[in-house]
């Protein structure tokens, strides 16, 4: 074991600069390699056994609908598979929980190294499966590496001696032990980073898991599971099932599931929380739910914002990066009416300069939304925004001839409390709301059931400090955009209907997968 590696201080994985010809060439080569591997079939994996079912579904490229990325067994057709996977994970837990933390962490460091070596290839899979542009895909891969490196190091800290108060006549210690079998249900929008982070945080803490990826992004999860196998992780520690909500439901409600780790929509998250709260026959614990849900994130622009060009740049990056399909995306721009007329032409000009196209092309800045359902609902939201008095400044339409493309859309004059101002669209649609003053802007920003990310642009330190005190979000950014949280730097998770404020990439994240045990010995 290369102990030295575990002692290095955590550093974020640097992003790839594709303006360098050698990096662009490497990415094109990776895209060609992945293109030659499209359409392969990936099995369910339970206790190291590969299982193929007769019933299949395909994962298709959202930017080229006819292109099949991967073929998968439909786990929903065989509910016994969930029982089998949870039994396998329960059996593996008996030994895995006793593997020293340093050894468990070493697997994460090893997988991170393998991922680093195949960085462009994993990014290329995301280009095809979820229509990420080169930079967005690279950011996702870098974050996956970060999660592995960070959680490995954090586990070493939590497994060390914990501070307690000494007491005469006793030898006392406090330690953290794992929970058991976890149901891991990650989203499609960060199909490598969040999936790998959720899975391996549970694993490094000593738990075993059943992983069911989104049926919009199963190929990337299957590729990661191949990496986990290659790294030599014991059988049954990570089990992989492809399927839809029926499979997820069976995992959530199973009496042997000890915890559920979920990232996705508010509706599904609340349903999981409700089902997990019910005690089933044979269940001997209260299940723990770790949930990261949606957002209706706002960037507030005060009348004293120093540099409106920088503001416009931050807004456009946060609103339209990855087609607005981030739970941290800026979907509300709340502008003091005194600077509205000066700011909006800058925002519109930058938006119009974005290049819509195939994500395989290096100069594309906006690609397709994830699927037909998203495409249809986004256009409905745009129509609803117009019907409620909004004015489309740019965009407003879509094209689904070959893929699910929607123009980056800015809707001005959106009223506080209206549908477009309140509901998460999860697409390239920005609602612009005018505020009378800074107080009014903060009031609008907080008047939502969500509380994930937010940003404030102001030259006044006093106003920024008021935002720190009063802007009720889990991740607040001052004089910068509201997307781009870095592991370890910006622990990530939100309040209210945005979830359990789980703080992925933060110091206490692993504590959600462990429980405390106090040991006292009389001497």
Reading the block at residue 33, the tokens are 């390699």
Respond yes or no: is residue 136 known to be catalytic.
no
Tell me: pLDDT of 1 over 80.
no
Rounded Cα gap, residues 207 and 226, in angstroms: 19
Q: Is residue 283 domain-shared with residue 329, that is, in the same domain?
A: no
| 366, 332 contact by CB (below 8 A) | no
> Has residue 184 got a pLDDT over 70?
yes
Residues 28 and 150 occupy one common structural domain: yes
Mean pLDDT computed over 318-330: 98
pLDDT value of position 77:
82
- Residue 211 maps to a domain: yes
Joined together, the tokens standing for residue 189 give 């929008």
> How would you class 98 by CB atoms within 10 Å of its CB: exposed for 0-12, middle for 13-18, buried for 19 or more?
exposed
Domain of 257, in residue numbers:
23-293+502-522
Same domain, 286 and 306: no
Residue 110 shares a structural domain with residue 139:
yes
On whether both 385 and 287 belong to a single domain, the answer is no
Per-residue pLDDT averaged across 310-321, rounded? 98
> In 10 A of CB 270, how many CB atoms?
13
Indicate whether this model's pTM tops 0.95: yes
**Which CATH number does the domain housing residue 316 bear?**
3.40.309.10
Least reliable range by pLDDT among 73-82, 96-105, 383-392, 460-469: 73-82
Considering the domain architecture, whether residues 90 and 141 belong to the same structural domain is answered as: yes
Number of structural domains in the chain? 2
Q: Given pLDDT bands bounded at 50, 70 and 90, which one contains residue 2?
A: very low
Q: Could you read off the pLDDT of 473-495 as tens digits, one per residue? A: 999 999 999 999 999 999 999 99
Average pLDDT on 371-389 reads 98
In terms of domains, do 309 and 282 share one? no
CA nearest to 259, candidates 245, 272, 240: 272
Tell me: do 257 and 313 sit in the same domain: no
Q: Using the predicted structure, report yes or no on whether residue 49 has a pLDDT greater than 70.
A: yes
Does residue 376 share a domain with residue 336? Answer: yes
Neighbours of 379 (CB within 10 A): 18
Q: 466 in a domain, yes or no?
A: yes
Band of residue 76 on the pLDDT scale cut at 50, 70, 90:
confident
Residue 9 located in a structural domain: no
| Whether the predicted pLDDT of 5 surpasses 80 | no
- Catalytic, 327? Answer yes
Tell me, yes or no, whether 341 and 254 share the same domain: no
Domain assignment present for 95: yes
What letter does residue 231 receive in the DSSP assignment? T
In a domain, 411, yes or no: yes
Q: How do residues 114-138 score in pLDDT, each as one tens digit?
A: 999 999 999 999 999 999 999 999 9
Shared domain for 313 and 190, answered yes or no, is no
Residue of 13, 249, 327, 330 marked active site: 327
Please check whether residue 447 lies inside any domain of the structure.
yes
506 burial via Cβ count (<10 Å: 0-12, 13-18, 19+): buried
The share of the chain scoring above pLDDT 70, in percent, equals: 99
491 part of a folded domain: no
- Output the pLDDT for position 6: 44
Examine the pLDDT at 144 and tell me if it is beyond 90. Answer: yes
Q: How confident is the model at residue 4 (pLDDT cuts 50, 70, 90)?
A: very low
Sorting pLDDT into bands at 50, 70 and 90, what band is 7?
low
Containing H/E element for 384? helix 372-387
For residues 287 and 301, membership in a common domain is answered with no
Average pLDDT over residues 466-473: 98
**What CATH number is given to the structural domain containing 244?**
3.40.605.10
Residue 283 domain-assigned (yes or no): yes
Q: Is the pLDDT of residue 281 over 50?
A: yes
Residue 56 DSSP SS3: strand
Q: Is the model's pLDDT at 352 over the cut of 70? A: yes
497-523: pLDDT as tens digits: 999 999 999 999 999 999 999 999 999
Q: Which of 136, 149, 292, 423 is catalytic?
A: 292
Percent of the chain scoring above 90 in pLDDT: 98
């Amino acid at each position: 074991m290369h102990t030295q590696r575990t002692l290095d201080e955590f550093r974020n994985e640097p992003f790839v600069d594709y303006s360098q010809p050698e990096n662009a060439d490497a990415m094109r080569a990776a895209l060609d390699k992945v293109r030659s591997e499209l359409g392969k079939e990936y099995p369910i994996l339970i206790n190291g056994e590969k299982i193929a079912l007769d019933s299949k579904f395909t994962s298709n490229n959202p930017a080229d609908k006819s292109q099949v990325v991967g073929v998968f067994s439909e786990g929903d057709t065989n509910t016994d598979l969930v029982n089998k996977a949870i039994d396998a994970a329960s059996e593996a837990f008996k030994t895995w929980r006793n593997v020293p933390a340093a050894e468990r962490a070493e697997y994460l460091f090893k997988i991170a190294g393998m991922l680093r070596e195949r960085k462009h290839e994993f990014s290329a899979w995301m280009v095809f499966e979820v229509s990420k542009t080169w930079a967005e895909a690279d950011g996702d891969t870098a974050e996956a590496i970060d999660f592995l490196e960070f959680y490995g190091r954090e586990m070493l800290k939590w497994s060390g001696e914990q501070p307690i108060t000494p007491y005469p006549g006793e030898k006392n210690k406090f330690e953290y032990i794992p929970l058991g079998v976890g149901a891991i249900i990650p989203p499609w929008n960060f199909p490598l980073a969040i999936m790998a982070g959720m899975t391996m945080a549970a694993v490094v803490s000593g738990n075993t898991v059943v992983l069911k990826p989104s049926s919009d992004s199963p190929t990337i999860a299957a590729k990661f599971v191949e990496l986990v196998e290659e790294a030599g992780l014991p059988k049954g520690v990570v089990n992989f099932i492809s399927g839809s909500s029926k499979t997820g439901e069976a995992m959530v409600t199973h009496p042997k599931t000890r915890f559920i780790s979920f990232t996705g929509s508010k509706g599904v998250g609340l349903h999981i929380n409700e089902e997990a709260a019910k005690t089933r026959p044979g269940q001997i614990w209260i299940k723990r739910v770790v949930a990261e849900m949606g957002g209706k994130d706002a960037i507030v622009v005060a009348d004293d914002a120093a540099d409106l060009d920088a503001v416009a740049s931050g807004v456009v990056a946060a609103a339209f990066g990855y087609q607005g399909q981030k739970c941290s995306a800026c979907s509300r721009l709340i502008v003091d009416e005194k600077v509205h007329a000066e700011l909006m032409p800058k925002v519109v000009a930058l938006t119009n300069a974005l290049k819509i196209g195939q994500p395989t092309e290096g100069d594309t800045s906006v690609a397709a939304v994830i699927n037909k359902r998203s495409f249809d609902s986004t256009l409905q939201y745009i129509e609803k925004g117009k019907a409620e008095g909004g004015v489309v400044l740019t965009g407003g339409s879509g094209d689904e001839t070959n893929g699910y493309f929607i123009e980056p859309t800015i809707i001005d004059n959106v009223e506080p409390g209206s549908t477009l101002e309140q509901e998460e669209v999860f697409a390239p649609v920005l609602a612009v709301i005018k505020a009378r003053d800074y107080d009014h802007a903060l009031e609008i920003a907080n008047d939502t059931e969500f509380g994930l990310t937010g940003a404030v642009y102001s030259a006044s330190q006093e106003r920024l400090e008021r935002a720190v005190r009063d802007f009720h979000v889990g991740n607040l950014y001052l004089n910068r955009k509201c997307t781009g949280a870095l592991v370890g730097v910006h622990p990530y998770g939100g309040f209210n209907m945005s979830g359990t404020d789980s703080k992925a990439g933060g110091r206490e994240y692993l504590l959600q997968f462990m429980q405390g045990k106090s040991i006292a010995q009389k001497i």
